[in-house]
Protein backbone atom coordinates (compact mmCIF):
# COMPACT_ATOMS: atom_id res chain seq x y z
CA UNK A 1 0.00 0.00 0.00
CA UNK A 2 2.87 2.35 0.87
CA UNK A 3 4.48 1.56 -2.51
CA UNK A 4 1.21 2.40 -4.31
CA UNK A 5 0.91 5.71 -2.42
CA UNK A 6 4.53 6.62 -3.24
CA UNK A 7 3.94 5.85 -6.91
CA UNK A 8 0.83 8.04 -7.01
CA UNK A 9 2.67 10.91 -5.27
CA UNK A 10 5.50 10.75 -7.79
CA UNK A 11 3.05 10.64 -10.68
CA UNK A 12 1.15 13.67 -9.38
CA UNK A 13 4.39 15.57 -8.80
CA UNK A 14 5.57 14.82 -12.32
CA UNK A 15 2.24 16.03 -13.73
CA UNK A 16 2.43 19.29 -11.76
CA UNK A 17 6.00 20.00 -12.83
CA UNK A 18 5.20 19.26 -16.47
CA UNK A 19 2.14 21.53 -16.36
CA UNK A 20 4.10 24.42 -14.84
CA UNK A 21 6.43 24.49 -17.83
CA UNK A 22 3.51 25.76 -19.97
CA UNK A 23 2.84 28.79 -17.74
CA UNK A 24 4.41 31.95 -19.15
CA UNK A 25 6.77 33.94 -16.95
CA UNK A 26 4.95 36.80 -15.27
CA UNK A 27 7.00 39.46 -17.12
CA UNK A 28 6.10 38.16 -20.57
CA UNK A 29 3.60 40.29 -22.45
CA UNK A 30 1.37 38.46 -24.88
CA UNK A 31 0.15 40.13 -28.03
CA UNK A 32 -3.40 40.02 -29.28
CA UNK A 33 -2.52 38.37 -32.57
CA UNK A 34 -0.70 41.24 -34.28
CA UNK A 35 2.84 40.22 -33.38
CA UNK A 36 4.36 36.81 -34.11
CA UNK A 37 7.29 37.33 -31.75
CA UNK A 38 5.70 38.51 -28.51
CA UNK A 39 9.03 39.18 -26.83
CA UNK A 40 10.51 41.31 -29.61
CA UNK A 41 10.88 45.05 -29.04
CA UNK A 42 8.09 46.97 -30.71
CA UNK A 43 8.66 48.09 -34.29
CA UNK A 44 5.55 48.86 -36.33
CA UNK A 45 4.88 51.07 -39.32
CA UNK A 46 1.79 51.78 -41.40
CA UNK A 47 1.99 53.87 -44.56
CA UNK A 48 -1.72 54.54 -45.01
CA UNK A 49 -3.23 53.80 -41.56
CA UNK A 50 -5.75 51.62 -43.37
CA UNK A 51 -5.09 47.95 -42.57
CA UNK A 52 -6.14 47.13 -38.97
CA UNK A 53 -7.02 50.75 -38.20
CA UNK A 54 -10.69 51.54 -37.52
CA UNK A 55 -12.80 54.68 -37.24
CA UNK A 56 -15.60 55.54 -34.85
CA UNK A 57 -17.98 58.49 -35.10
CA UNK A 58 -19.16 60.58 -32.17
CA UNK A 59 -22.71 61.41 -33.19
CA UNK A 60 -24.18 61.02 -36.66
CA UNK A 61 -21.32 62.18 -38.87
CA UNK A 62 -17.91 60.50 -39.16
CA UNK A 63 -15.19 62.86 -40.40
CA UNK A 64 -12.75 60.02 -41.15
CA UNK A 65 -12.23 58.28 -44.49
CA UNK A 66 -9.58 55.71 -45.34
CA UNK A 67 -8.05 54.40 -48.53
CA UNK A 68 -5.14 52.22 -49.52
CA UNK A 69 -2.92 55.28 -49.91
CA UNK A 70 -4.33 57.82 -47.44
CA UNK A 71 -6.31 58.48 -44.28
CA UNK A 72 -8.11 61.78 -43.93
CA UNK A 73 -10.57 63.63 -41.69
CA UNK A 74 -12.79 66.57 -42.65
CA UNK A 75 -16.30 67.91 -42.25
CA UNK A 76 -16.43 68.91 -45.93
CA UNK A 77 -17.61 65.77 -47.73
CA UNK A 78 -20.25 64.29 -50.05
CA UNK A 79 -22.57 63.39 -47.19
CA UNK A 80 -25.10 60.57 -47.70
CA UNK A 81 -23.99 59.94 -51.26
CA UNK A 82 -24.67 63.47 -52.49
CA UNK A 83 -23.15 64.66 -55.77
CA UNK A 84 -21.61 67.76 -54.21
CA UNK A 85 -19.68 68.40 -51.05
CA UNK A 86 -21.06 70.32 -48.10
CA UNK A 87 -19.91 71.03 -44.57
CA UNK A 88 -21.39 69.35 -41.51
CA UNK A 89 -20.33 69.20 -37.90
CA UNK A 90 -18.51 65.92 -37.51
CA UNK A 91 -16.51 64.29 -34.76
CA UNK A 92 -14.77 60.95 -34.52
CA UNK A 93 -11.75 58.80 -33.76
CA UNK A 94 -9.20 56.92 -35.84
CA UNK A 95 -8.14 53.94 -33.70
CA UNK A 96 -4.95 51.93 -34.05
CA UNK A 97 -4.64 48.16 -33.77
CA UNK A 98 -3.48 46.79 -30.41
CA UNK A 99 0.23 47.09 -29.72
CA UNK A 100 2.44 44.95 -27.51
CA UNK A 101 4.89 47.63 -26.36
CA UNK A 102 7.87 45.49 -25.37
CA UNK A 103 10.86 47.77 -24.87
CA UNK A 104 14.55 47.10 -24.23
CA UNK A 105 15.16 50.76 -23.34
CA UNK A 106 12.23 51.55 -21.04
CA UNK A 107 10.79 54.02 -23.54
CA UNK A 108 8.62 53.92 -26.66
CA UNK A 109 8.14 56.69 -29.20
CA UNK A 110 5.84 57.24 -32.16
CA UNK A 111 5.58 59.66 -35.06
CA UNK A 112 3.63 60.29 -38.25
CA UNK A 113 3.51 62.58 -41.27
CA UNK A 114 0.58 64.95 -41.63
CA UNK A 115 -0.77 68.20 -42.96
CA UNK A 116 -3.70 70.49 -42.20
CA UNK A 117 -5.33 71.98 -45.29
CA UNK A 118 -8.04 74.62 -45.74
CA UNK A 119 -7.21 76.14 -42.38
CA UNK A 120 -8.69 79.50 -43.39
CA UNK A 121 -12.10 77.87 -43.12
CA UNK A 122 -11.41 76.75 -39.56
CA UNK A 123 -9.90 79.42 -37.31
CA UNK A 124 -9.54 76.99 -34.41
CA UNK A 125 -7.90 74.23 -36.48
CA UNK A 126 -5.00 73.70 -34.04
CA UNK A 127 -7.47 72.53 -31.39
CA UNK A 128 -9.38 70.18 -33.68
CA UNK A 129 -6.92 67.27 -33.61
CA UNK A 130 -5.91 65.39 -30.44
CA UNK A 131 -4.10 62.13 -29.65
CA UNK A 132 -5.14 59.69 -26.92
CA UNK A 133 -3.77 56.36 -25.62
CA UNK A 134 -5.42 53.51 -23.71
CA UNK A 135 -4.91 49.89 -22.66
CA UNK A 136 -8.55 48.89 -22.15
CA UNK A 137 -10.50 49.75 -25.28
CA UNK A 138 -13.10 47.04 -25.82
CA UNK A 139 -13.55 47.53 -29.59
CA UNK A 140 -16.98 49.08 -29.08
CA UNK A 141 -17.44 52.61 -27.76
CA UNK A 142 -14.70 55.04 -26.75
CA UNK A 143 -15.09 56.32 -23.20
CA UNK A 144 -12.50 59.07 -22.72
CA UNK A 145 -12.35 58.38 -18.99
CA UNK A 146 -10.27 55.35 -19.96
CA UNK A 147 -8.00 57.28 -22.36
CA UNK A 148 -5.04 59.55 -21.60
CA UNK A 149 -4.52 62.72 -23.64
CA UNK A 150 -1.05 63.05 -25.18
CA UNK A 151 0.31 66.58 -25.36
CA UNK A 152 0.52 67.25 -29.08
CA UNK A 153 -1.24 69.65 -31.43
CA UNK A 154 -0.87 70.24 -35.19
CA UNK A 155 1.27 73.20 -36.23
CA UNK A 156 1.88 72.56 -39.94
CA UNK A 157 -0.50 73.60 -42.70
CA UNK A 158 -0.27 73.10 -46.46
CA UNK A 159 -2.05 74.25 -49.60
CA UNK A 160 -0.56 71.53 -51.84
CA UNK A 161 -0.88 68.48 -49.52
CA UNK A 162 2.82 68.40 -48.73
CA UNK A 163 3.41 66.60 -45.43
CA UNK A 164 5.53 67.32 -42.37
CA UNK A 165 6.76 64.93 -39.69
CA UNK A 166 5.67 65.29 -36.08
CA UNK A 167 9.11 64.19 -34.94
CA UNK A 168 9.31 61.78 -32.02
CA UNK A 169 6.43 61.84 -29.55
CA UNK A 170 6.96 59.96 -26.29
CA UNK A 171 4.47 57.28 -25.34
CA UNK A 172 3.62 57.91 -21.64
CA UNK A 173 5.66 55.64 -19.39
CA UNK A 174 2.56 53.89 -18.02
CA UNK A 175 1.97 52.40 -21.50
CA UNK A 176 5.51 50.99 -22.01
CA UNK A 177 5.88 47.20 -21.63
CA UNK A 178 2.12 46.76 -21.77
CA UNK A 179 -0.29 44.76 -23.90
CA UNK A 180 -3.46 45.96 -25.63
CA UNK A 181 -2.11 49.49 -26.13
CA UNK A 182 -4.07 51.56 -28.63
CA UNK A 183 -3.53 55.06 -29.93
CA UNK A 184 -6.55 57.07 -31.08
CA UNK A 185 -6.54 60.28 -33.10
CA UNK A 186 -9.57 62.51 -32.53
CA UNK A 187 -10.83 65.05 -35.10
CA UNK A 188 -13.57 67.65 -34.84
CA UNK A 189 -15.14 69.59 -37.71
CA UNK A 190 -17.24 72.65 -36.81
CA UNK A 191 -20.64 73.18 -38.39
CA UNK A 192 -19.74 76.09 -40.69
CA UNK A 193 -16.15 75.45 -41.72
CA UNK A 194 -13.67 72.64 -41.56
CA UNK A 195 -9.98 72.12 -42.11
CA UNK A 196 -8.84 68.79 -43.55
CA UNK A 197 -6.36 66.60 -41.68
CA UNK A 198 -4.34 64.09 -43.71
CA UNK A 199 -2.11 61.52 -42.02
CA UNK A 200 0.38 58.97 -43.36
CA UNK A 201 3.42 56.91 -42.34
CA UNK A 202 2.63 56.13 -38.71
CA UNK A 203 5.52 54.54 -36.82
CA UNK A 204 5.84 53.27 -33.24
CA UNK A 205 9.26 52.11 -32.09
CA UNK A 206 11.28 51.00 -29.07
CA UNK A 207 13.49 53.78 -27.73
CA UNK A 208 13.49 57.28 -26.24
CA UNK A 209 12.76 60.41 -28.24
CA UNK A 210 15.67 61.81 -30.21
CA UNK A 211 16.87 65.32 -29.44
CA UNK A 212 16.34 67.39 -32.58
CA UNK A 213 17.78 70.81 -31.83
CA UNK A 214 15.03 73.41 -31.75
CA UNK A 215 12.26 70.81 -31.64
CA UNK A 216 13.81 69.75 -28.36
CA UNK A 217 12.61 66.24 -27.57
CA UNK A 218 13.94 65.23 -24.14
CA UNK A 219 14.88 61.61 -23.42
CA UNK A 220 14.67 59.43 -20.39
CA UNK A 221 12.20 58.14 -17.82
CA UNK A 222 10.11 60.73 -16.00
CA UNK A 223 11.78 63.55 -17.93
CA UNK A 224 10.40 62.44 -21.28
CA UNK A 225 8.33 65.11 -23.00
CA UNK A 226 6.80 65.37 -26.43
CA UNK A 227 8.71 66.71 -29.37
CA UNK A 228 6.91 70.04 -29.34
CA UNK A 229 9.03 71.25 -26.41
CA UNK A 230 11.44 74.04 -27.36
CA UNK A 231 14.90 74.61 -25.97
CA UNK A 232 15.81 78.17 -25.07
CA UNK A 233 16.99 80.49 -26.53
CA UNK A 234 13.89 80.59 -28.74
CA UNK A 235 12.48 83.25 -31.02
CA UNK A 236 9.34 83.46 -33.14
CA UNK A 237 8.77 86.33 -35.55
CA UNK A 238 5.06 85.79 -36.15
CA UNK A 239 3.95 83.65 -33.15
CA UNK A 240 2.33 81.31 -35.68
CA UNK A 241 4.19 78.01 -35.93
CA UNK A 242 3.58 75.89 -32.80
CA UNK A 243 1.44 78.59 -31.13
CA UNK A 244 -2.23 77.78 -30.55
CA UNK A 245 -5.29 79.85 -29.74
CA UNK A 246 -8.21 78.93 -27.52
CA UNK A 247 -11.46 80.86 -27.18
CA UNK A 248 -13.31 81.49 -23.93
CA UNK A 249 -16.92 81.30 -25.03
CA UNK A 250 -18.15 81.45 -28.62
CA UNK A 251 -15.90 84.11 -30.15
CA UNK A 252 -12.14 83.84 -30.55
CA UNK A 253 -10.45 87.25 -30.83
CA UNK A 254 -7.15 85.79 -32.07
CA UNK A 255 -6.05 85.40 -35.68
CA UNK A 256 -2.68 84.23 -36.95
CA UNK A 257 -0.80 84.48 -40.20
CA UNK A 258 2.67 83.73 -41.48
CA UNK A 259 3.83 87.28 -40.60
CA UNK A 260 1.55 88.46 -37.77
CA UNK A 261 -0.58 87.53 -34.78
CA UNK A 262 -3.44 89.77 -33.78
CA UNK A 263 -6.39 89.94 -31.39
CA UNK A 264 -9.52 92.06 -31.75
CA UNK A 265 -13.28 91.91 -31.37
CA UNK A 266 -13.76 93.81 -34.65
CA UNK A 267 -13.75 91.09 -37.31
CA UNK A 268 -15.68 89.54 -40.20
CA UNK A 269 -17.49 87.06 -37.95
CA UNK A 270 -18.33 84.57 -40.69
CA UNK A 271 -19.70 87.40 -42.84
CA UNK A 272 -18.51 89.82 -45.52
CA UNK A 273 -18.29 92.95 -43.35
CA UNK A 274 -16.65 93.60 -40.02
CA UNK A 275 -18.60 94.09 -36.82
CA UNK A 276 -17.76 94.14 -33.11
CA UNK A 277 -18.54 91.25 -30.79
CA UNK A 278 -17.50 90.46 -27.25
CA UNK A 279 -14.61 88.03 -27.58
CA UNK A 280 -12.16 86.49 -25.16
CA UNK A 281 -9.35 84.02 -25.65
CA UNK A 282 -5.76 82.91 -25.21
CA UNK A 283 -2.71 82.70 -27.46
CA UNK A 284 -0.61 79.87 -26.02
CA UNK A 285 3.07 79.23 -26.65
CA UNK A 286 4.68 75.88 -27.33
CA UNK A 287 6.26 74.11 -24.37
CA UNK A 288 9.63 75.45 -23.28
CA UNK A 289 12.41 73.60 -21.49
CA UNK A 290 13.82 76.55 -19.52
CA UNK A 291 17.31 75.24 -18.83
CA UNK A 292 19.34 78.19 -17.51
CA UNK A 293 23.03 78.66 -16.73
CA UNK A 294 22.34 81.90 -14.84
CA UNK A 295 19.33 81.00 -12.71
CA UNK A 296 17.14 83.46 -14.60
CA UNK A 297 15.11 83.51 -17.82
CA UNK A 298 13.68 86.57 -19.57
CA UNK A 299 11.32 87.12 -22.48
CA UNK A 300 10.23 90.03 -24.64
CA UNK A 301 8.14 90.84 -27.71
CA UNK A 302 7.16 93.71 -29.99
CA UNK A 303 3.58 94.96 -29.96
CA UNK A 304 1.16 97.77 -30.51
CA UNK A 305 -2.38 98.59 -29.42
CA UNK A 306 -4.45 100.23 -32.16
CA UNK A 307 -7.93 101.80 -32.14
CA UNK A 308 -7.65 102.49 -28.44
CA UNK A 309 -10.20 105.32 -28.63
CA UNK A 310 -12.82 102.64 -29.16
CA UNK A 311 -11.76 100.84 -26.00
CA UNK A 312 -11.27 103.09 -22.98
CA UNK A 313 -10.08 100.19 -20.81
CA UNK A 314 -7.55 98.87 -23.35
CA UNK A 315 -4.67 98.66 -20.84
CA UNK A 316 -6.56 96.02 -18.87
CA UNK A 317 -7.58 93.94 -21.88
CA UNK A 318 -4.23 92.17 -22.35
CA UNK A 319 -2.58 89.96 -19.74
CA UNK A 320 0.28 87.44 -19.69
CA UNK A 321 0.19 84.14 -17.80
CA UNK A 322 2.67 81.28 -17.31
CA UNK A 323 2.13 77.63 -16.41
CA UNK A 324 3.87 74.26 -16.41
CA UNK A 325 0.84 71.94 -16.27
CA UNK A 326 -1.31 72.90 -19.27
CA UNK A 327 -2.53 69.70 -20.96
CA UNK A 328 -2.76 71.17 -24.44
CA UNK A 329 -6.54 71.10 -24.34
CA UNK A 330 -8.30 72.78 -21.42
CA UNK A 331 -7.10 76.14 -20.09
CA UNK A 332 -8.95 76.05 -16.78
CA UNK A 333 -7.48 72.70 -15.71
CA UNK A 334 -4.01 74.22 -15.51
CA UNK A 335 -2.56 76.40 -12.77
CA UNK A 336 -1.59 79.76 -14.26
CA UNK A 337 0.43 82.58 -12.71
CA UNK A 338 -0.20 86.17 -13.77
CA UNK A 339 2.92 88.04 -14.90
CA UNK A 340 3.08 91.70 -13.97
CA UNK A 341 2.86 93.45 -17.35
CA UNK A 342 0.30 95.54 -19.20
CA UNK A 343 0.40 97.38 -22.54
CA UNK A 344 1.35 101.07 -22.48
CA UNK A 345 2.11 101.77 -26.15
CA UNK A 346 -0.49 102.63 -28.79
CA UNK A 347 -0.15 103.32 -32.50
CA UNK A 348 -2.28 104.58 -35.37
CA UNK A 349 0.06 103.30 -38.11
CA UNK A 350 0.92 99.83 -36.70
CA UNK A 351 4.36 100.94 -35.52
CA UNK A 352 5.61 98.43 -32.95
CA UNK A 353 7.41 98.94 -29.65
CA UNK A 354 9.45 96.47 -27.60
CA UNK A 355 8.34 95.44 -24.14
CA UNK A 356 11.94 95.23 -23.00
CA UNK A 357 12.95 92.31 -20.81
CA UNK A 358 10.27 90.67 -18.68
CA UNK A 359 11.43 88.22 -16.01
CA UNK A 360 10.05 84.72 -16.01
CA UNK A 361 9.10 83.94 -12.38
CA UNK A 362 11.81 81.86 -10.70
CA UNK A 363 9.43 78.93 -10.11
CA UNK A 364 9.44 78.40 -13.90
CA UNK A 365 13.23 78.50 -14.43
CA UNK A 366 14.95 75.15 -15.06
CA UNK A 367 11.58 73.52 -15.64
CA UNK A 368 10.01 71.50 -18.43
CA UNK A 369 6.59 71.99 -20.07
CA UNK A 370 6.59 75.76 -19.43
CA UNK A 371 4.05 77.70 -21.50
CA UNK A 372 3.34 81.41 -21.77
CA UNK A 373 -0.19 82.54 -22.65
CA UNK A 374 -1.47 85.92 -23.79
CA UNK A 375 -5.06 86.68 -22.77
CA UNK A 376 -7.14 89.23 -24.70
CA UNK A 377 -10.63 90.54 -24.01
CA UNK A 378 -12.79 92.54 -26.42
CA UNK A 379 -15.84 94.29 -24.97
CA UNK A 380 -19.22 93.98 -26.66
CA UNK A 381 -19.50 97.49 -28.13
CA UNK A 382 -15.93 98.40 -29.04
CA UNK A 383 -12.51 96.85 -29.22
CA UNK A 384 -8.90 97.84 -29.52
CA UNK A 385 -6.60 95.68 -31.65
CA UNK A 386 -3.49 94.04 -30.19
CA UNK A 387 -0.73 93.10 -32.64
CA UNK A 388 2.16 90.96 -31.52
CA UNK A 389 5.47 90.01 -33.21
CA UNK A 390 9.05 88.93 -32.50
CA UNK A 391 8.63 86.93 -29.31
CA UNK A 392 11.93 85.92 -27.70
CA UNK A 393 12.73 83.88 -24.58
CA UNK A 394 16.34 83.74 -23.43
CA UNK A 395 18.61 82.54 -20.64
CA UNK A 396 19.73 85.37 -18.35
CA UNK A 397 18.53 88.12 -16.02
CA UNK A 398 16.72 91.22 -17.24
CA UNK A 399 18.85 94.12 -18.40
CA UNK A 400 18.26 97.51 -16.85
CA UNK A 401 16.84 99.93 -19.41
CA UNK A 402 15.70 102.84 -17.32
CA UNK A 403 12.40 104.26 -18.49
CA UNK A 404 11.77 101.58 -21.10
CA UNK A 405 9.99 99.61 -18.44
CA UNK A 406 12.08 96.50 -17.90
CA UNK A 407 10.45 94.24 -15.30
CA UNK A 408 12.77 93.33 -12.44
CA UNK A 409 13.30 89.94 -10.82
CA UNK A 410 10.27 88.59 -9.03
CA UNK A 411 7.80 90.26 -11.37
CA UNK A 412 7.73 93.70 -9.73
CA UNK A 413 7.67 96.73 -12.00
CA UNK A 414 10.34 99.40 -11.98
CA UNK A 415 9.73 103.05 -11.19
CA UNK A 416 8.80 103.90 -14.76
CA UNK A 417 5.30 102.65 -14.14
CA UNK A 418 5.31 100.30 -17.12
CA UNK A 419 4.27 97.26 -15.08
CA UNK A 420 0.68 97.03 -13.82
CA UNK A 421 -0.39 95.14 -10.75
CA UNK A 422 -3.58 93.31 -11.73
CA UNK A 423 -3.73 90.82 -8.85
CA UNK A 424 -0.03 90.26 -8.30
CA UNK A 425 1.78 86.93 -8.47
CA UNK A 426 -0.88 84.47 -7.38
CA UNK A 427 -0.95 81.17 -9.23
CA UNK A 428 -4.53 80.11 -9.81
CA UNK A 429 -6.98 78.20 -11.94
CA UNK A 430 -8.49 80.35 -14.65
Residue 300 in this model has a pLDDT that exceeds 50: yes
97 within 8 A of 103, measured Cβ to Cβ: no
Residue 426 in this model has a pLDDT that exceeds 70: no
- Structural domain ending residue among the three candidates 180, 213, 246: 213
103 within 8 A of 206, measured Cβ to Cβ: yes
The pTM of the full predicted model, rounded to 2 decimals, is 0.49
One domain, residues 62 and 163: yes
One domain, residues 127 and 193: yes
**Res 347: pLDDT:** 86
Binned at pLDDT 50, 70 and 90, residue 411 comes out as: very low
364 within 8 A of 320, measured Cβ to Cβ: no
Segment 387-414 shows an average pLDDT of 63
Closest CA to 148 of 205, 41, 226, 80: 226
Answer whether residue 219 is part of any domain. Answer: no
**Res 24: pLDDT:** 33
Segment 14-27 shows an average pLDDT of 36
- Structural domain ending residue among the three candidates 213, 248, 280: 213
- Residue 297: Cβ within 10 Å count: 27
Residue 105 in this model has a pLDDT that exceeds 60: yes
**Res 173: pLDDT:** 94
Answer whether residue 19 is part of any domain. Answer: no
Binned at pLDDT 50, 70 and 90, residue 156 comes out as: confident
Domain interval for residue 160:
43-213
Answer whether residue 174 is part of any domain. Answer: yes
Better-predicted residue by pLDDT, 168 or 31 = 168
**Res 253: pLDDT:** 93
**Res 77: pLDDT:** 94
Query: What are the pLDDT digits (tens) for 325-337?
Result: 887 777 877 789 9
Binned at pLDDT 50, 70 and 90, residue 230 comes out as: confident
Q: What percent of the chain has pLDDT over 90?
A: 47
One domain, residues 366 and 242: yes
Closest CA to 44 of 186, 152, 153, 206: 206
One domain, residues 49 and 102: yes
Residue 224 in this model has a pLDDT that exceeds 80: no
Query: What are the pLDDT digits (tens) for 168-214?
Result: 999 999 999 999 999 999 999 999 889 999 999 999 999 998 754 33
Answer whether residue 144 is part of any domain. Answer: yes
Segment 348-359 shows an average pLDDT of 92
Residue 22 in this model has a pLDDT that exceeds 80: no
Answer whether residue 346 is part of any domain. Answer: yes
**Res 214: pLDDT:** 35
One domain, residues 75 and 152: yes
40 within 8 A of 31, measured Cβ to Cβ: no
311 within 8 A of 338, measured Cβ to Cβ: no
One domain, residues 203 and 238: no
Binned at pLDDT 50, 70 and 90, residue 419 comes out as: very low
Task: Please give the mean pLDDT across all residues of the chain.
Answer: 80
One domain, residues 207 and 142: yes
One domain, residues 341 and 398: yes
CATH number of the domain within which 386 lies: 2.60.120.200
Lowest mean pLDDT among 158-172, 203-217, 382-396, 407-421: 407-421
Q: What percent of the chain has pLDDT over 70?
A: 80
**Exposed, middle or buried, 400 (CB in 10 Å: 0-12/13-18/19+)?**
exposed
Lowest mean pLDDT among 116-125, 202-211, 286-295, 322-331: 322-331
Residue 291 in this model has a pLDDT that exceeds 80: yes
How far, in Å, CA of 285 to CA of 287, rounded?
6
Residue 132 in this model has a pLDDT that exceeds 90: yes
Amino acid sequence: MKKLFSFLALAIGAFVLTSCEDIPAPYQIWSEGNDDNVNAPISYTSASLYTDWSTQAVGENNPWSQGSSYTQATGYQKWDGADTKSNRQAEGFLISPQFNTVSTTGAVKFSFDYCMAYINNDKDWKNHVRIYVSTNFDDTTINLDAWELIDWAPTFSSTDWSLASTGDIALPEAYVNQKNVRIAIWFFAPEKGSSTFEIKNFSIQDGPCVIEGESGSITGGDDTVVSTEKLIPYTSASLYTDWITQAVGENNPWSQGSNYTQATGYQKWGGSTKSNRQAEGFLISPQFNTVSTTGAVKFSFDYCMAYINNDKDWKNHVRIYVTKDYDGATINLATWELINWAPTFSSTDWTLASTGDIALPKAYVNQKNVRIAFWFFAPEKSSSTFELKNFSIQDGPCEEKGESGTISEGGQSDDSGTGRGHDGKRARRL
